[in-house]
Structure 1
Amino acid sequence: MSHPDKIVLPTRRLAPALIDLLTGLKVGDRIQITQTVRVGARTWPAVAIGAFRGVNYLATGITTERVAADDIVVPTVHFTKDSGELTSVSLDENTKIERASMKTLDAFTLADAPSGSTQPK
């Protein structure tokens, strides 16, 4: 897996600090990704921790039956969870990624998480 030369969202901008972090990560670096999940009016953070594998783009289905110049692609971070699960997360302007430390891992728990999600204490 490789790093694209430039990491951009199709309609919004990613924070420069996030782009710098992503371009500086090496395969195997520990990361923590936090995204906001929204169902109706309720929101909560979803957190995942694992070993970085790479960044590339996902072409979305919105391009079906359209001109190639209209392609919509989304930057995607690929990582491996501690369970061995290969995971990919599409980035949005609210995605938070940071290097994970052992202290971060010790604080991580499923006890307070809504069913089917994960979040820190």
Structure 2
Amino acid sequence: TFDQVWPHIQMFYTPGRIVTAHNAPFDVSVMRLTLDRYGIAAPRYQVIDTVKTSRQFLPKLPNHRLDTVSAALHIPLEHHHNALADSYACARILIAENEHFGEARIKSMMKLSKAG
């Protein structure tokens, strides 16, 4: 169950770490609800949404779905909707955007999650 997994992953959810997600508001809300369900205080952590970054940096794409953005940046996404494949693609999107558009622009789009 989640309360058994949390001690092994909570180190990634700190203000000093960046959590990257494609459509981050959804993932942040699921994390918050799950933590609440298990009576675990929600930590503060940095979040960046690659939907938001791709809309900013790649405005001419027909849409900003994960597979579309991945294809535009030549990032392989062989098993779309597989958690590991989607996570890898999301990370590669952020890395590519950082390389092309610079760290300062990426940092300006990060948010600090609200504590629970």
TM-score normalized by the length of structure 1: 0.25
Structure having greater relative contact order (Cα 8 Å, sep ≥ 6): 2
TM-score normalized by the length of structure 2: 0.25
- Bigger strand share: 1
- Bigger helix share: 2
